[in-house]
Amino acid sequence: AQKITQTQPGMFVQEKEAVTLDCTYDTSDPSYGLFWYKQPSSGEMIFLIYQGSYDQQNATEGRYSLNFQKARKSANLVISASQLGDSAMYFCAMRDSNYQLIWGAGTKLIIKP
């Protein structure tokens, strides 16, 4: 069965430090896409970064990078130089062969000043 696992319900990080949010996935499809979304307390889901299963290089978007380890089936999100505004829920998701998104339970990230 297709599944996304985020093992960190919550994380506390000092401002300006880098933070890694874990995500592992399970699928037998050779073609899939992995996404990270940020959800602040306002509720809106904000797209952060995408990694395709056939992409050779790890995706990067500004301060966000995705540490994609295909053999381990992991797609960890790395946020460099964290900011107070990074405090939010972070969700990892996978798009399967039916093009539907499968979601992890999320990680609540709190950045401390």
Partner 1 sequence: ETGVTQTPRHLVMGMTNKKSLKCEQHLGHNAMYWYKQSAKKPLELMFVYSLEERVENNSVPSRFSPECPNSSHLFLHLHTLQPEDSALYLCASSQDGARGRAFFGQGTRLTVV
Interface residues toward partner 1, by CB under 8 A: 31-33, 35, 37, 42-47, 50, 52, 91, 95, 99-101, 103-106
CB of 15 to partner 1, least distance (A): 26
CB of 97 to partner 1, least distance (A): 8
Surface-to-core class of residue 79, CB atoms within 10 Å of its CB (0-12 exposed, 13-18 middle, 19+ buried): buried
Query: Which one-letter DSSP state was computed for residue 38?
Result: E
CB of 113 to partner 1, least distance (A): 26
8 A C-beta contact, residue 18 and residue 84: no
